[in-house]
Structure 1
């Protein structure tokens, strides 16, 4: 597993939640990494939102009915916008993009959750097979896990 444990746990937990309901990107600013700073949480939320959308684990009406190339460009532009808007500010104009689009778990997301029994996992445990599949999907979609920002935030 290349993704750090706390982030793997956060991704797994959020994808489990996304199988039940849709949420806005702001949801990913919490729970991805325990004890991370404001800046780290912002960066993780931007990169993870982009990776999950591009990889087909999450979907949004933003890329609906577009071919993969066009949707990817829209997702990239959305992630760049998120990278410029501090989700922890009290400025309503700056946090608006974080609440603009509903993100929903896809059929692929739900199939992986079911395949690995993630719904029934004890809270706090990570399914290595599930995370391995996620890492493989990220790799295939050219958004592999890295310790470096994918889309650096403008702090």
Structure 2
């Protein structure tokens, strides 16, 4: 019985296998590049949306909210008050101060906060207005300075009012 030796694949078969392997490598590389491009694009869009949202939110609180404090102390528990939804907050600081004083006067009885004789308004670090009762009857300059806050009329570096 004679057996023929096995010489392996023919040169033509080897060429077909190489071409098939090379085609598979090209497809996988292309798929990897496409996935990587989609991932990078999605990441850039997400970061852009987050930065834009943060920039918008950073300017909103000053124009739409303020805090009423029960004591001349930043550690006291303030009540956050928002402007009524049907009213457009004014861009004029003096009118914002008037609104803050009036609305705080309205909510003080609701939260059992004492009615101050001469409340003062200071600019909080988050750019909101803070209404303080001024328990010692000092000037606005003194109260704001003692609390380490700016006065409402002071310009805030880098702040742009969203109302224009």
Asked which structure has the greater CA Rg, the reply is: 2
TM over 0.5: no
TM-score by length of 2: 0.25
Q: Which has the higher strand share?
A: 2
Higher relative contact order (CA 8 A, sep 6+): 1
